[in-house]
Structure 1
Amino acid sequence: MILSRARLRGKAAPVPAPAVPQGTELPRHVAIIMDGNGRWAARRKLPRLAGHKAGADAVRRVARAARDMGLECLTLYAFSSENWKRPEQEIADLTALLKHFIANDLDEFHANNVRLRVIGDYHAFEPSAVEMVERALAKTAANDGSTMVIALNYGSQNELARATQALARRVASGELRPEEITTDAIAAELDTADLPPLDLLIRTSGEQRLSNFLLWQVAYAELYFTEKLWPDFDAEALAEACKVFAGRQRRYGGL
C-alpha cells in the first residue's frame, strides 16, 4: 500500500487506498472523461436520471480514492460546453446533482485539505448553482493538499480561443511582442495554468475520443480507455489505470 500525500483530518472517515504496488510511480495529474451514465441506465431499463445519480456516486468513490492514493490533482469532465444541447430536464437534473454534491460532500473534502477548482465558465448555470460553486471555491481556496478540478461548461477549443484573444490584446497594447508568444505563454493563459501538467487521461465506456477536453494539456499525457461504464468505475479501476500508466515509457520525443 502507498501512503497518501494528503493528511486526513477532521471527522471524515478515511477510505483505504486501492491496491497499487509499493514503489509504483503515480501520475501527478489524472483527468477523466466520465462517460456511460445513460448506457448504464438503459441496460437496467432505468431513466437517465438514475444513471446520472449512479455516476455521482462514482464521483464520490473515485475522488476519495484519488485523495487516499496520493494523487496530486484529479480533473473530472462533468459538463461540457456542448452539453447545453441536451433536453432542459436533463440539464436541470445534472445541475441539481451538482448542487447536491456540494451541499453534502464539500465538508468532507474540506476536512481532508482538498482544494476545489473549476475550469470552464460555470457562470452560465442558474444563479443558485453559481452561488454554491463560488462558496465552495472560497471555502477550500487555502487548502494545500490534493486538488479536485471540476470541468463545468468547459470546452477546450473555447479555452484556446480565449487564451489566444488574451495574448492578442497584450500584443495590441504593446505589452507583448508576437515572437514572445511561446508555448509557455499560451499555457499561462489556460484555465489549467496553476495545475500540474496532465499525466494520464482516462475515458470510460469504450469510446476513444477526446470530446473537446484538455486538447492542449493532453499533448504528452498517457491515454487510457476502458470499457467500464462510469457508474461502475471505482477505486480498483483507478488503481489499475495508474498501474498501466506506471508501465508506460514516456520519452517526450526523445529516446
Structure 2
Amino acid sequence: MQGYKEVVDTSVYVKFKLKPRQKAGNISLGNNAYILSWTTTPWTLPGNVALAVGKRITYTVVKIVDTGEIFIVADNKRDVLNLDYKVVGRVKGDKLIRLRYEPLFSIKPITAPKTAKITYRVYPAEFVTTEEGTGVVHTAVMYGEDDYELGKRLGLPQYHTVDENGNFTSDVPELRGLFVKAGKTEKKIFEYLKKQGNLFRTDPYKHEYPFCWRCDTPVLYYARDSWFIGMSTLRKKLITANKGIHWIPAHTKEGGSANGCVMLKI
C-alpha cells in the first residue's frame, strides 16, 4: 500500500480494572475483575475514554486459577490468556454495555465530574470484530477515525493528551514532552502500566503502518480543528477582483485563476 511500510511494533494487552460489585448479565464480577483489551498504539492509552464491544459477539468470563482474577474476553479469543482458568460463564456483548472501569491515567479534563457519567464505560460499536485482539477495543476519541465517530455519537470528551509535535502534554506528567513513537516512550508506558497493575502482556506485531512520504517518519492519526470556507458566496467578488490584477504571464488572468473562480461550487 502506498505510503505504508511493513514494520514490527510492540502491541500490548491491557487489563482495564472494573469498578467493584457489577454484573455481566447474571454473572457477579466481584472486586477483582478486568476487561482485557489489545492495541498496537500504546501511545493512545493516556487518551482512553471508553471501551467498545460488539453487541452480538459472545464474551467469556473466566477466573484465573493462580490469581483469582476475573477476565472478560471474546469467547473465540480465550487463547490470548495463555493461563490456567475456569470458565465462569458466557454473555453477549450487549450485557457488558455501561460497565464502569478505572481510568489508566488520571487526566483531569477527562475525569472531571461533568463527564464522569459517560467516560470510562463500555459501549457497543459496529466496528468491533474478533479477527485480532480480544474483541474489546480501547477507544481514544482524538486518535482514530472509528474512535472519533463513536465519541461524537456518544458525546465523549474530545481532549488531546498529545500536542501537534507528537509529544505528550503536561496532562500526562509521567510522559510529558516525550515523542509518542519513540522506543523509550513505549518502554515507559509499559513500565507505568505494570506498576499500576494494568499490564497483561506485550507482543511483537508485524503490520502495515503509514509513513510520511516526505520525511519518512511515522504518521499519527490526530484529530484537529479545521476551517471550511463557503466559496460560492465569494465567487462574484473573486471574479471582479481578478479583473483588476496584473497577471504575469498574462494568459493566467483568463485561464486557470478565472476558470477556477467560475467553477467554484462549494
Q: Shorter chain as normaliser: what TM range?
A: under 0.3
Which structure: greater strand fraction? 2
Structure with max Cα Rg: 2
Taking structure 1 as the reference length, what is the TM-score of the superposition? Answer: 0.24
Which structure: greater helix fraction? 1
Taking structure 2 as the reference length, what is the TM-score of the superposition? Answer: 0.24
RCO higher in structure (CA 8 A, sep ≥6): 1
